[in-house]
Protein backbone atom coordinates (compact mmCIF):
# COMPACT_ATOMS: atom_id res chain seq x y z
CA UNK A 1 0.00 0.00 0.00
CA UNK A 2 1.40 3.41 -0.93
CA UNK A 3 1.90 6.28 1.49
CA UNK A 4 -0.86 8.30 -0.25
CA UNK A 5 -3.38 5.48 0.25
CA UNK A 6 -2.42 5.22 3.90
CA UNK A 7 -3.12 8.91 4.36
CA UNK A 8 -6.48 8.57 2.66
CA UNK A 9 -7.58 5.77 4.96
CA UNK A 10 -6.63 7.42 8.25
CA UNK A 11 -9.31 9.46 10.07
CA UNK A 12 -9.15 13.23 9.62
CA UNK A 13 -8.89 13.74 13.38
CA UNK A 14 -5.48 12.10 13.38
CA UNK A 15 -4.28 13.88 10.26
CA UNK A 16 -5.11 17.27 11.74
CA UNK A 17 -3.30 16.54 14.99
CA UNK A 18 0.03 17.79 13.66
CA UNK A 19 -1.14 20.36 11.15
CA UNK A 20 0.41 23.80 11.13
CA UNK A 21 -1.46 26.55 12.96
CA UNK A 22 -2.16 30.10 11.77
CA UNK A 23 0.36 31.51 14.25
CA UNK A 24 3.63 29.73 15.08
CA UNK A 25 3.19 28.03 18.47
CA UNK A 26 5.53 29.19 21.20
CA UNK A 27 8.31 26.80 22.09
CA UNK A 28 7.70 25.24 25.48
CA UNK A 29 10.89 25.42 27.60
CA UNK A 30 12.19 21.95 28.46
CA UNK A 31 14.76 20.67 30.95
CA UNK A 32 15.76 17.53 32.83
CA UNK A 33 12.55 17.61 34.87
CA UNK A 34 10.49 17.56 31.66
CA UNK A 35 12.17 14.29 30.77
CA UNK A 36 11.13 12.78 34.12
CA UNK A 37 7.39 13.29 33.62
CA UNK A 38 5.49 10.01 33.97
CA UNK A 39 1.82 10.84 34.57
CA UNK A 40 -0.29 10.27 31.41
CA UNK A 41 -2.10 13.59 31.85
CA UNK A 42 1.22 15.49 32.00
CA UNK A 43 2.60 13.65 28.99
CA UNK A 44 -0.63 14.27 27.06
CA UNK A 45 -0.11 18.02 27.50
CA UNK A 46 3.52 17.62 26.49
CA UNK A 47 2.42 15.81 23.33
CA UNK A 48 0.10 18.71 22.50
CA UNK A 49 3.06 21.09 22.77
CA UNK A 50 5.37 18.77 20.78
CA UNK A 51 3.06 16.85 18.44
CA UNK A 52 5.87 15.88 16.05
CA UNK A 53 8.18 14.38 18.67
CA UNK A 54 8.36 10.58 18.53
CA UNK A 55 10.11 10.67 21.90
CA UNK A 56 7.12 12.32 23.57
CA UNK A 57 4.53 10.12 21.84
CA UNK A 58 6.43 6.98 22.86
CA UNK A 59 6.59 8.14 26.46
CA UNK A 60 2.86 8.80 26.44
CA UNK A 61 2.12 5.46 24.75
CA UNK A 62 4.07 3.55 27.40
CA UNK A 63 2.49 5.51 30.25
CA UNK A 64 -1.01 4.82 28.95
CA UNK A 65 -0.27 1.13 28.48
CA UNK A 66 1.11 0.85 32.01
CA UNK A 67 -2.02 2.58 33.34
CA UNK A 68 -4.21 0.05 31.52
CA UNK A 69 -5.53 2.53 28.95
CA UNK A 70 -4.90 0.34 25.92
CA UNK A 71 -7.29 2.35 23.75
CA UNK A 72 -5.27 5.51 24.40
CA UNK A 73 -2.02 3.64 23.79
CA UNK A 74 -3.37 2.39 20.49
CA UNK A 75 -4.20 5.93 19.40
CA UNK A 76 -0.65 7.01 20.20
CA UNK A 77 0.63 4.15 18.07
CA UNK A 78 -1.39 5.52 15.17
CA UNK A 79 -0.05 9.03 15.80
CA UNK A 80 3.47 7.65 15.50
CA UNK A 81 2.71 5.48 12.49
CA UNK A 82 1.17 8.31 10.45
CA UNK A 83 4.30 10.36 11.08
CA UNK A 84 6.53 7.63 9.64
CA UNK A 85 7.66 5.84 12.80
CA UNK A 86 8.56 2.15 12.42
CA UNK A 87 7.81 -0.18 15.34
CA UNK A 88 9.59 -3.50 15.61
CA UNK A 89 7.50 -6.50 14.51
CA UNK A 90 7.21 -7.59 18.14
CA UNK A 91 5.94 -4.17 19.24
CA UNK A 92 3.55 -4.04 16.31
CA UNK A 93 2.06 -7.36 17.39
CA UNK A 94 1.42 -6.06 20.90
CA UNK A 95 -0.01 -2.74 19.69
CA UNK A 96 -2.37 -4.47 17.25
CA UNK A 97 -4.18 -5.95 20.24
CA UNK A 98 -5.02 -2.42 21.37
CA UNK A 99 -6.79 -1.61 18.07
CA UNK A 100 -9.93 -2.79 16.36
CA UNK A 101 -9.46 -4.88 13.23
CA UNK A 102 -9.55 -1.98 10.73
CA UNK A 103 -6.97 0.08 12.58
CA UNK A 104 -4.81 -3.00 13.19
CA UNK A 105 -4.77 -3.69 9.46
CA UNK A 106 -3.96 -0.03 8.77
CA UNK A 107 -1.07 -0.21 11.25
CA UNK A 108 0.30 -3.32 9.53
CA UNK A 109 0.16 -1.57 6.16
CA UNK A 110 1.80 1.55 7.60
CA UNK A 111 4.65 -0.52 9.00
CA UNK A 112 5.34 -1.98 5.56
CA UNK A 113 5.73 1.55 4.24
CA UNK A 114 7.66 2.97 7.21
CA UNK A 115 10.15 0.07 7.41
CA UNK A 116 11.17 0.13 3.77
CA UNK A 117 14.82 0.74 3.04
CA UNK A 118 15.79 3.57 0.74
CA UNK A 119 19.34 3.34 -0.59
CA UNK A 120 20.42 6.35 -2.62
CA UNK A 121 24.01 7.16 -1.56
CA UNK A 122 27.39 5.89 -2.70
CA UNK A 123 30.60 5.26 -0.80
CA UNK A 124 32.93 8.26 -1.13
CA UNK A 125 35.86 7.49 1.18
CA UNK A 126 36.89 5.51 4.25
CA UNK A 127 38.89 6.74 7.20
CA UNK A 128 41.31 4.27 8.78
CA UNK A 129 40.54 2.71 12.16
CA UNK A 130 43.23 4.88 13.77
CA UNK A 131 40.88 7.86 13.31
CA UNK A 132 38.85 7.01 16.38
CA UNK A 133 35.23 8.11 16.67
CA UNK A 134 34.78 10.25 13.58
CA UNK A 135 31.94 12.69 14.19
CA UNK A 136 31.66 15.02 11.20
CA UNK A 137 33.23 16.16 7.96
CA UNK A 138 33.64 19.29 5.87
CA UNK A 139 35.07 20.13 2.47
CA UNK A 140 37.24 23.08 1.49
CA UNK A 141 35.29 24.57 -1.45
CA UNK A 142 38.49 25.98 -2.96
CA UNK A 143 40.66 22.85 -3.01
CA UNK A 144 38.13 20.05 -2.53
CA UNK A 145 40.11 18.69 0.41
CA UNK A 146 38.07 16.66 2.92
CA UNK A 147 38.37 17.26 6.68
CA UNK A 148 37.09 14.92 9.38
CA UNK A 149 36.80 15.56 13.13
CA UNK A 150 37.48 12.88 15.74
CA UNK A 151 36.28 12.63 19.33
CA UNK A 152 38.65 10.04 20.80
CA UNK A 153 41.70 10.77 18.65
CA UNK A 154 41.22 14.52 19.38
CA UNK A 155 42.62 15.33 15.95
CA UNK A 156 41.60 16.61 12.54
CA UNK A 157 42.11 14.29 9.57
CA UNK A 158 42.56 15.66 6.06
CA UNK A 159 42.39 13.97 2.67
CA UNK A 160 43.89 15.96 -0.17
CA UNK A 161 42.69 14.81 -3.58
CA UNK A 162 43.37 11.12 -4.12
CA UNK A 163 45.94 11.03 -1.31
CA UNK A 164 45.75 9.18 1.99
CA UNK A 165 44.18 10.58 5.14
CA UNK A 166 46.66 12.56 7.22
CA UNK A 167 46.38 13.42 10.90
CA UNK A 168 46.58 17.05 12.03
CA UNK A 169 46.95 17.75 15.75
CA UNK A 170 45.54 21.14 16.71
CA UNK A 171 46.95 23.06 19.69
CA UNK A 172 44.74 22.96 22.77
CA UNK A 173 42.16 20.70 21.12
CA UNK A 174 39.78 18.49 23.05
CA UNK A 175 37.32 16.14 21.41
CA UNK A 176 36.53 17.55 17.98
CA UNK A 177 32.88 17.42 16.93
CA UNK A 178 30.99 19.76 14.59
CA UNK A 179 32.72 21.50 11.73
CA UNK A 180 31.43 24.12 9.28
CA UNK A 181 32.97 26.27 6.57
CA UNK A 182 32.59 30.04 6.97
CA UNK A 183 32.69 31.56 3.47
CA UNK A 184 33.01 35.11 4.81
CA UNK A 185 36.13 34.45 6.88
CA UNK A 186 37.26 31.52 4.70
CA UNK A 187 37.78 29.43 7.84
CA UNK A 188 36.71 26.02 9.04
CA UNK A 189 35.12 26.44 12.45
CA UNK A 190 35.66 23.31 14.56
CA UNK A 191 33.92 22.54 17.86
CA UNK A 192 36.31 21.44 20.60
CA UNK A 193 35.21 20.28 24.05
CA UNK A 194 34.78 17.47 26.54
CA UNK A 195 32.47 14.45 26.53
CA UNK A 196 32.58 11.15 28.41
CA UNK A 197 34.70 9.62 25.63
CA UNK A 198 37.35 12.36 25.82
CA UNK A 199 40.72 10.86 26.77
CA UNK A 200 43.36 12.77 28.68
CA UNK A 201 43.14 16.23 30.16
CA UNK A 202 40.03 18.35 29.88
CA UNK A 203 40.13 21.62 27.94
CA UNK A 204 38.11 24.79 27.82
CA UNK A 205 35.34 24.41 25.28
CA UNK A 206 36.01 26.50 22.20
CA UNK A 207 35.47 27.00 18.53
CA UNK A 208 38.73 26.71 16.64
CA UNK A 209 39.04 28.85 13.51
CA UNK A 210 41.16 26.69 11.20
CA UNK A 211 42.64 28.25 8.06
CA UNK A 212 42.82 25.50 5.41
CA UNK A 213 45.19 27.63 3.32
CA UNK A 214 47.88 27.58 6.02
CA UNK A 215 46.84 24.47 7.96
CA UNK A 216 46.82 26.37 11.25
CA UNK A 217 44.36 27.57 13.88
CA UNK A 218 44.18 31.35 13.55
CA UNK A 219 41.27 32.11 15.90
CA UNK A 220 39.99 30.60 19.14
CA UNK A 221 36.59 31.48 20.62
CA UNK A 222 36.18 30.06 24.13
CA UNK A 223 33.04 29.61 26.22
CA UNK A 224 34.90 30.11 29.50
CA UNK A 225 34.14 26.60 30.79
CA UNK A 226 34.66 22.90 30.16
CA UNK A 227 31.52 22.36 28.12
CA UNK A 228 30.89 20.03 25.21
CA UNK A 229 30.40 21.98 22.01
CA UNK A 230 28.59 19.99 19.35
CA UNK A 231 27.28 21.40 16.07
CA UNK A 232 28.41 24.59 14.34
CA UNK A 233 26.76 26.88 11.79
CA UNK A 234 27.90 30.02 9.97
CA UNK A 235 25.58 32.90 9.11
CA UNK A 236 25.79 34.87 5.90
CA UNK A 237 26.68 37.97 7.96
CA UNK A 238 29.77 36.31 9.43
CA UNK A 239 28.16 35.33 12.74
CA UNK A 240 28.99 31.89 14.12
CA UNK A 241 26.70 29.65 16.17
CA UNK A 242 27.46 26.58 18.27
CA UNK A 243 25.43 24.24 20.46
CA UNK A 244 26.26 22.54 23.75
CA UNK A 245 24.00 19.46 23.77
CA UNK A 246 24.89 18.42 27.33
CA UNK A 247 24.20 21.75 29.03
CA UNK A 248 21.42 22.94 26.75
CA UNK A 249 23.21 26.12 25.62
CA UNK A 250 23.42 27.85 22.24
CA UNK A 251 26.37 30.20 21.70
CA UNK A 252 27.13 32.86 19.14
CA UNK A 253 29.97 35.15 18.11
CA UNK A 254 30.17 38.10 15.74
CA UNK A 255 33.18 38.49 13.42
CA UNK A 256 34.90 40.89 15.84
CA UNK A 257 34.22 38.90 19.05
CA UNK A 258 37.09 37.33 20.96
CA UNK A 259 34.94 34.73 22.67
CA UNK A 260 31.58 32.99 22.49
CA UNK A 261 28.49 34.63 23.97
CA UNK A 262 25.46 32.78 25.34
CA UNK A 263 22.54 33.24 22.98
CA UNK A 264 20.22 30.79 24.78
CA UNK A 265 20.95 29.58 28.29
CA UNK A 266 19.95 26.29 29.94
CA UNK A 267 16.24 25.61 30.33
CA UNK A 268 14.99 26.45 26.84
CA UNK A 269 16.31 23.40 24.99
CA UNK A 270 17.06 19.97 26.45
CA UNK A 271 19.71 18.90 23.94
CA UNK A 272 20.36 21.42 21.14
CA UNK A 273 22.13 19.81 18.21
CA UNK A 274 22.10 20.95 14.58
CA UNK A 275 21.80 24.64 13.72
CA UNK A 276 20.86 26.55 10.57
CA UNK A 277 21.25 30.31 10.21
CA UNK A 278 18.36 31.56 8.08
CA UNK A 279 19.36 34.08 5.38
CA UNK A 280 18.98 37.63 6.61
CA UNK A 281 20.56 37.07 10.01
CA UNK A 282 17.37 37.29 12.08
CA UNK A 283 16.41 33.65 12.66
CA UNK A 284 18.24 30.52 13.77
CA UNK A 285 16.73 27.05 13.41
CA UNK A 286 17.68 24.79 16.31
CA UNK A 287 17.24 21.04 16.53
CA UNK A 288 16.35 19.78 20.00
CA UNK A 289 17.16 16.08 19.86
CA UNK A 290 14.20 15.01 22.00
CA UNK A 291 11.54 17.57 21.16
CA UNK A 292 11.89 18.75 17.56
CA UNK A 293 12.78 21.89 15.65
CA UNK A 294 12.61 25.42 17.00
CA UNK A 295 12.84 28.79 15.25
CA UNK A 296 14.79 31.22 17.39
CA UNK A 297 14.47 34.98 17.00
CA UNK A 298 18.10 36.00 17.44
CA UNK A 299 17.43 39.55 18.61
CA UNK A 300 14.80 38.74 21.26
CA UNK A 301 15.82 35.21 22.18
CA UNK A 302 12.21 34.04 21.80
CA UNK A 303 11.59 30.66 20.23
CA UNK A 304 8.63 29.13 18.42
CA UNK A 305 8.08 25.56 17.32
CA UNK A 306 8.69 24.87 13.65
CA UNK A 307 5.51 23.28 12.37
CA UNK A 308 4.69 20.94 9.50
CA UNK A 309 1.77 21.06 7.06
CA UNK A 310 1.25 17.34 7.69
CA UNK A 311 2.09 15.27 10.78
CA UNK A 312 5.81 14.52 10.79
CA UNK A 313 8.68 13.18 12.87
CA UNK A 314 10.89 16.15 13.72
CA UNK A 315 12.88 14.97 16.74
CA UNK A 316 15.99 12.80 16.72
CA UNK A 317 17.68 15.25 14.32
CA UNK A 318 21.44 15.45 14.71
CA UNK A 319 22.92 17.43 11.85
CA UNK A 320 20.86 19.88 9.81
CA UNK A 321 21.91 21.95 6.80
CA UNK A 322 20.34 24.55 4.52
CA UNK A 323 20.10 23.73 0.82
CA UNK A 324 18.43 26.67 -0.91
CA UNK A 325 14.85 26.84 0.38
CA UNK A 326 15.11 23.41 1.99
CA UNK A 327 16.62 21.87 5.08
CA UNK A 328 18.48 18.56 4.93
CA UNK A 329 18.22 16.72 8.24
CA UNK A 330 20.05 13.68 9.58
CA UNK A 331 17.61 11.80 11.84
CA UNK A 332 19.64 9.21 13.69
CA UNK A 333 17.43 9.33 16.79
CA UNK A 334 14.18 7.95 15.34
CA UNK A 335 13.06 4.60 13.95
CA UNK A 336 13.97 4.14 11.21
CA UNK A 337 17.13 6.22 10.97
CA UNK A 338 16.81 8.39 7.91
CA UNK A 339 17.86 11.50 5.99
CA UNK A 340 15.03 13.84 5.02
CA UNK A 341 14.50 16.96 2.96
CA UNK A 342 12.25 19.63 4.47
CA UNK A 343 10.89 22.16 1.97
CA UNK A 344 10.28 25.40 3.85
CA UNK A 345 7.57 28.03 3.54
CA UNK A 346 8.52 31.64 2.83
CA UNK A 347 8.80 32.65 6.49
CA UNK A 348 11.01 29.67 7.41
CA UNK A 349 8.57 28.72 10.19
CA UNK A 350 6.60 25.97 8.44
CA UNK A 351 7.53 22.80 6.57
CA UNK A 352 5.49 22.51 3.41
CA UNK A 353 6.70 19.05 2.42
CA UNK A 354 8.89 16.31 3.90
CA UNK A 355 10.71 13.94 1.55
CA UNK A 356 12.67 10.90 2.73
CA UNK A 357 15.95 10.79 0.80
CA UNK A 358 17.49 7.76 2.45
CA UNK A 359 16.26 5.39 5.15
CA UNK A 360 17.60 2.44 7.13
CA UNK A 361 20.54 1.88 4.79
CA UNK A 362 21.97 -1.62 5.42
CA UNK A 363 25.54 -0.28 5.48
CA UNK A 364 24.83 2.25 8.23
CA UNK A 365 25.70 1.82 11.87
CA UNK A 366 24.94 5.32 13.14
CA UNK A 367 24.90 8.04 10.46
CA UNK A 368 26.24 11.27 11.91
CA UNK A 369 27.60 14.65 10.83
CA UNK A 370 28.19 15.87 7.32
CA UNK A 371 28.34 18.76 4.90
CA UNK A 372 26.67 19.94 1.70
CA UNK A 373 28.83 19.75 -1.39
CA UNK A 374 27.69 20.66 -4.91
CA UNK A 375 24.21 19.16 -4.70
CA UNK A 376 25.19 16.30 -2.42
CA UNK A 377 25.23 15.54 1.28
CA UNK A 378 28.56 14.04 2.34
CA UNK A 379 28.11 12.32 5.69
CA UNK A 380 29.60 9.92 8.21
CA UNK A 381 27.73 6.65 7.64
CA UNK A 382 29.30 4.36 10.24
CA UNK A 383 29.52 6.31 13.48
CA UNK A 384 31.00 4.31 16.33
CA UNK A 385 29.81 5.95 19.54
CA UNK A 386 28.76 2.56 20.89
CA UNK A 387 32.34 1.27 20.67
CA UNK A 388 33.90 3.79 23.06
CA UNK A 389 33.32 4.31 26.76
CA UNK A 390 34.70 6.51 29.52
CA UNK A 391 37.93 8.19 28.49
CA UNK A 392 37.77 6.66 25.03
CA UNK A 393 38.32 3.09 26.22
CA UNK A 394 36.93 0.43 23.86
CA UNK A 395 33.65 -1.05 25.07
CA UNK A 396 34.00 -4.75 25.93
CA UNK A 397 37.32 -4.81 24.11
CA UNK A 398 35.63 -4.09 20.78
CA UNK A 399 38.23 -2.82 18.35
CA UNK A 400 37.24 0.26 16.34
CA UNK A 401 36.94 -0.13 12.60
CA UNK A 402 37.21 2.06 9.55
CA UNK A 403 34.67 4.86 9.13
CA UNK A 404 32.76 5.18 5.88
CA UNK A 405 31.89 8.51 4.29
CA UNK A 406 28.98 8.39 1.84
CA UNK A 407 27.67 10.87 -0.75
CA UNK A 408 23.91 11.35 -1.17
CA UNK A 409 22.56 13.27 -4.20
CA UNK A 410 19.93 15.77 -3.10
CA UNK A 411 18.13 16.24 -6.40
CA UNK A 412 16.16 19.39 -7.17
Q: What is the pLDDT of residue 412?
A: 72
User: Where residue 15 falls among pLDDT bands split at 50, 70, 90?
Assistant: low
In angstroms, rounded to a whole number, what is the distance separating the alpha carbons of residues 270 and 201?
A: 27
Q: Name the pLDDT band for 285 (thresholds 50, 70, 90).
A: very high
- Rounded to the nearest integer, the mean pLDDT of the chain is 94
In the β-sheet with 370-373, what is the strand arrangement from edge to edge?
122-127, 403-409, 376-380, 370-373
Answer whether 119's CB lies under 8 Å from 358's CB.
Answer: yes
* For residues 77-103, average pLDDT: 97
pLDDT tens readout for residues 317-344? 999 999 999 999 999 999 999 999 999 9
- According to the model, what pLDDT value does residue 9 have? 52
pLDDT at 14 over 70: no
pLDDT digits (tens, 9 = 90+) for 222-272: 998 888 999 999 999 999 999 999 999 999 999 999 999 999 999 999 999
User: Residue 82 and residue 3: Cα distance in Å, rounded?
Assistant: 9
For 258, counting Cβ atoms within 10 Å of its Cβ (0-12 exposed, 13-18 middle, 19+ buried), the class is exposed
Which pLDDT score, from 0 to 100, does residue 411 have?
Answer: 85
Do the beta carbons of residue 352 and residue 289 sit within 8 Å? Answer: no
Residue 281 has pLDDT above 70, yes or no: yes
Summarize the confidence of residues 156-164 as an average pLDDT: 96
pLDDT digits (tens, 9 = 90+) for 199-223: 999 999 999 999 999 999 999 999 9
Using pLDDT thresholds of 50, 70 and 90, give the confidence band for residue 3: very low
Look at residue 399 in the predicted model and tell me its pLDDT.
85
The predicted model gives 18-42 an average pLDDT of: 87
Confidence of residue 198 (pLDDT cuts 50, 70, 90): very high
Section 158-177 average pLDDT: 97
Tens of pLDDT along 358-390?
999 999 999 999 999 999 999 999 999 999 999
The predicted pLDDT at position 22 comes to 65
Q: What is the mean pLDDT of residues 104-118?
A: 97
For the chain, percent of residues with pLDDT exceeding 70: 95
Amino acid sequence: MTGKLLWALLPAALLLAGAARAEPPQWRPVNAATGQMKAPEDLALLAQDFPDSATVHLRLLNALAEAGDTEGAGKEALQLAVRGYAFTPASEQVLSRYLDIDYAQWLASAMQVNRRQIQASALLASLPAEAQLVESIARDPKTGDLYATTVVSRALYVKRGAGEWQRLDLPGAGSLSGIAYDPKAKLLWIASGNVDQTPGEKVKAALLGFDPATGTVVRRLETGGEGALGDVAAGDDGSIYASDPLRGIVYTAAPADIGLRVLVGPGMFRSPQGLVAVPGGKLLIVSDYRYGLAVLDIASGKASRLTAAKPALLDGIDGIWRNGRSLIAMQNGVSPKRIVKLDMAGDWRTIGRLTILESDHPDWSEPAGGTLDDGRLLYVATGQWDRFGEGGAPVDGTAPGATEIRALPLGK
